[in-house]
Every structure is written in structure tokens, then in C-alpha cells.
Amino acid sequence: MKFFILNGPSAAGKTVLLDFVLHNNNDCLEPIISFTTRQPRYGEKYGRDYYFITKEKYLQLQKDNQIIEQIEYLDNHYGVTIQELKRVEDTRKNGITIMTLEGIRMLKENVGYQKVISIFMYRDLSSILETLNELYSNSADANRRYEMAKQEIHDICSCDHVVYNISSLADADQQLINIIKKEINTVPLEKSIVPGQIYKHFSGETYEIVCDLAEHTETVSPMVIYRDTNTGQLYARPYELFCGKKEWPTAVNGIIDRFELIK
């Protein structure tokens, strides 16, 4: 099972899409519920929207190393506990929630990059502004959120996948479901990449591994750093792509290794 995390700018439609996809796919998806030290708002329920806890309880969880991801916002703490991830795993479903990039990186570092799949929700800025003007009667608040969204939209390259919310909710839902299906059927990759190894690309060129796996600063995924044995040009490629396969018409069964170890 995996954890699917939505990210994106204000008013991109993350919460609406999350509710929609959970309603239609509760047989394979389970919401990951965060805790918070803030007070419940009208209509919010414990165990559905958040686990509402005291600051004393938060400090105890922190002391017991039970918090696996957390952020602080407006003097309140938000996060996910080890116990909550265990609860989701016990359902034998895939977890799904919304997090900041900081939270996603913390979760990946603690749980493993292949188990945590980040998905950026893109929406064009004109639609975001229209929604913000509808949500906030105070134009100053709407403009402040809009300026934040303009900055947040640059984070589109910091996630593993992108859902484009530019048509209908049903279309965005189908994009998300396609991503989920692809990821839950992906076989974990355990190929050892060692400096000095020589690989042959399916197109014929050969490359030498120059160092241990590097870490992508945004997605926290491992990167393979390698050098063209003829030109000396350095390249970086995500581990999963380097070790993965590619459709190739002349290959047996139409599938070929992207890189083949030859020395």
C-alpha cells in the first residue's frame, strides 16, 4: 500500500477533489487524518476532519517520538502520528490526504520515497482568483491568498505527479485515479547502483556511474548521477527511470530495459 499526498495552491480544488475521490473509491482509499492543537470550527468532527488534541497531548506525542510529520501554523501544531499511519495500513487500503511540501518531504524521509506519492493540483490563476473572490468577502484577504497562490504554483515541479484541474471535477478525478492505479501496481525497485559501474543505454551509448545515489532536493527521490563514457558529459536521472523499462517495438514483448549493466 502507498500514501498519496495532494499539494497545490489555495483554491486549486484539493479538498473538493479529495472528498470526491474518497466518496467514489472508499474500497481502496482511506483518509489519513491529521491531529491539530487548534479548537474545532463549526461543523468539524473529531476523527473525521482532525484529531483535536491539547498542547499537552502534543508535547507528550513529541516526547514519545510518535509524530512522523508536522508543521506549525498560526501558533497551532498540525501533523500525523505513527499510530495514524498504522491505522490506515490496517485497513489494507491506500492512504490519501493533503499536505504542505514540507510535510511531504518529512513523510518521505520517515516512511520512504517509494511509499509516499506526491501529487500537485494545478489550476489556472484566473480560476483561482474567481474562487477566492467568492470565498472571501474581504478583497484584501482574497488578494493575499491570490498572491500566495501565485508563489505556490511554482512548486509544480516539486511533486511526483500533476493533476490538471482545468476542465471538470470528474476529469480531475480520473487523472488522479489513473495516477493511483499506476503507482499501486509499480513493483519496488531494489537494483544496487554503485560508482564505477558501466551501463549501456537502449540506444547504444555507454555511461559510467560516478557516485552514490544523490537526493533530489524537492521530491526527496534518489537520483542516479552518471557520465557519458565518450564525451564526459554528466547526467542526472531519477532512480526509478534509470532502473525502469521502456516500450520498444523491436524488443521481445515490446519492452526493454532503459539501461543494462555491462560491467
Tell me the per-residue pLDDT of 84-117, one tens digit each, with 9 for 90 and over. Answer: 999 999 999 999 999 988 889 889 988 888 899 9
What is the pLDDT, as a whole number, of residue 74?
75
Whether residue 96 contacts residue 29, with contact meaning beta carbons closer than 8 Å, is answered with: yes
Secondary structure (3-state) at 50 = strand
Give the predicted TM-score (pTM) of the model: 0.80
What is the pLDDT, as a whole number, of residue 251?
59
pLDDT of residue 186 exceeding 80, the answer is: no
Q: Tell which CATH architecture fits domain 198-261.
A: Roll (2.30)
Residue 96 CA to residue 75 CA, distance in Å, equals: 26
What is the pLDDT, as a whole number, of residue 250?
65
* Fold entry, domain 3-184: Rossmann fold (3.40.50)
The band of 249, judged by pLDDT with boundaries at 50, 70 and 90, is low
The residues spanned by each domain of the chain are 3-184, 198-261
- Give one DSSP letter per residue of 118-159, joined into a string: EEEEE--HHHHHHHHHHH-SSHHHHHHHHHHHHHHGGGGGGS
CA of residue 170 relative to chain centroid, distance = 21
